[in-house]
A and B are shown apart, each in its own frame.
Chain A
């Protein structure tokens, strides 16, 4: 007996197994898995090798949950206090980072004759480095103790925080109507974000205590339900679901954070992978050859501007030249946020999707390789050193 349900499960099984294979492959050759997930999505989409008629809807819903979980987990890494301290300490580095790296995308967008809002999205795509990929590279290469790492992490925190303002603004611009109503939407959504962050700062501890439960099951459901609800409402208000989820993560503090990480990580890994596949699915692959040169050019420019950003930021922190180079190289990898931003505009400008997919694939790979070999002497590290972790 064949029903639609069977087909859905078969398709999902095949896709997830495919992702498992590329994840293993990525690990084997020592690169992030994200670009390979995108490639899987590209291969499966319209004009690709195989199509997925039965599971498309499920994958779309899964992708939205993926974004929410990625941002929730990112928010869990930070407390409001930490965010405030960081913004105060690294304002200048943050501004340099924004100016140097938003410009290439924005200018390229205008040259490619996108409308200004889409160019603004492309600016966001080139601005934001991938906290996820960078954090993983730093840990895998044992560079947490390096002096430049604190600078890199500070820059990433400011970028993530900038997204909290950027996403509501672009959502407002994209989905707003007249100039007046758009301005109103943007102002209202920014006010809402600031209000929610204020609530998180004042009542985060109490909320965390209320949400905490000894039962893992109850805790998981509370976290998931609460976050989806807040994210959904934020999406309704054009603040963007991603920002809603991030703020929930920031608001939580104390014991609940470590428990939440453990509970949510497997779900995050699954749904984030689904999100990257979904993005790849939406990209019209026939457009990629047309934007390949542009993608390469923008990627080349961003490699330089990110290197400059790291060089300047680390220099201000009194770090030597090799460290400044490493800081720059660390910031090159672009990933999840670039895809989240491009996803917003893909319906309006299909070239943006193709361009962003190519760009992210290039920069994750180049970034990972450059950071690995950014030391003056490219020593390959013995395996035991990186994997010495042992629980007691």
Chain B
């Protein structure tokens, strides 16, 4: 993903800025209330928001879909949510992974690492709580749960070539 600058707006929320190759600057203000402002900066005075469009949460999601396929999923790629000492991670299965193409039963991820696959997400849809016959197709995303070390081991198996 491109580099996005993040700036705190105390009492308001967070502002994200993106500079395009053509030299324009676009920003999003994420309010604490869930409201989003889409901001276009002036060409001559790059600090000035010459246009600011207020979006509800729902409108923001829709615009995101229109602009970039499924940015939410991409974002989830590297999102790791930590709950006390349990980690949930979204891992895109790499084509080089030794487990790519195997069924969950064949891969035996839980026996090997201690981390379980709680959902598989592919372009055609998602499978929550997949059975042993579901396949780990390269390119799909596996949602993995476990203690940090287990999830780390599972991530290695699903993204790196076998050594």
Residues of A in contact with B, size category: 20 to 34
25 contacts between A and B (CB under 8 A): A78-B10, A86-B8, A89-B8, A135-B11, A144-B9, A144-B37, A145-B27, A145-B37, A145-B39, A145-B49, A146-B47, A147-B17, A148-B47, A150-B9, A150-B15, A153-B10, A154-B8, A156-B10, A258-B33, A319-B47, A320-B45, A322-B45, A323-B48, A389-B54, A392-B58
Q: Verify B29–A157 contact, CB threshold 8 A.
A: no
- Seen from chain B, the residues whose Cβ lies within 8 Å of a Cβ on chain A are 7-12, 15, 17, 27, 29, 33, 37, 39, 41, 45-49, 52-54, 56, 58-59
- Give residues 134-158 of A contacting B (CB, 8 Å): 135, 142-150, 153-154, 156-157
Q: How far is the CA of A285 from the CA of B10 in the complex (A)?
A: 39
CB nearest to A375 among chain B residues: B48
Contacts A82-B10, A148-B47, A326-B47 aside, 6 further interface pairs with beta carbons under 8 A come to A85-B8, A143-B49, A147-B48, A323-B45, A375-B45, A376-B45
Q: Verify B11–A144 contact, CB threshold 8 A.
A: no
Q: Verify A323–B10 contact, CB threshold 8 A.
A: no
CB nearest to A138 among chain B residues: B12
- Asked if A49 lies at the interface with its beta carbon under 8 angstroms from chain B, I say no
Q: How many whole Å from B63's CB to the nearest CB in chain A?
A: 14
Q: How many whole Å from A102's CB to the nearest CB in chain B?
A: 22
Q: How many whole Å from B71's CB to the nearest CB in chain A?
A: 20
Q: Verify B47–A147 contact, CB threshold 8 A.
A: yes
Whether A154 contacts B33 in the complex (CB less than 8 A), given A145-B39, A392-B58, comes out as no
Q: How far is the CA of A320 from the CA of B37 in the complex (A)?
A: 22
Q: How far is the CA of A372 from the CA of B17 in the complex (A)?
A: 24
Contacts of B27 in A (CB 8 A): 145
Q: How far is the CA of A390 from the CA of B11 in the complex (A)?
A: 21
Contacts of A388 in B (CB 8 A): 53-54
Contacts of A77 in B (CB 8 A): 10-11
CB nearest to A89 among chain B residues: B8
CB nearest to A321 among chain B residues: B45
Partner of B52, one of A142, A148, A150: A142
Q: How far is the CA of A64 from the CA of B10 in the complex (A)?
A: 27
CB nearest to B39 among chain A residues: A145
Contacts of B9 in A (CB 8 A): 144, 149-150, 153
Partner of A78, one of B7, B11, B37, B59: B11
Q: How many whole Å from A294's CB to the nearest CB in chain B?
A: 34
Q: How far is the CA of A107 from the CA of B8 in the complex (A)?
A: 35
CB nearest to A376 among chain B residues: B45
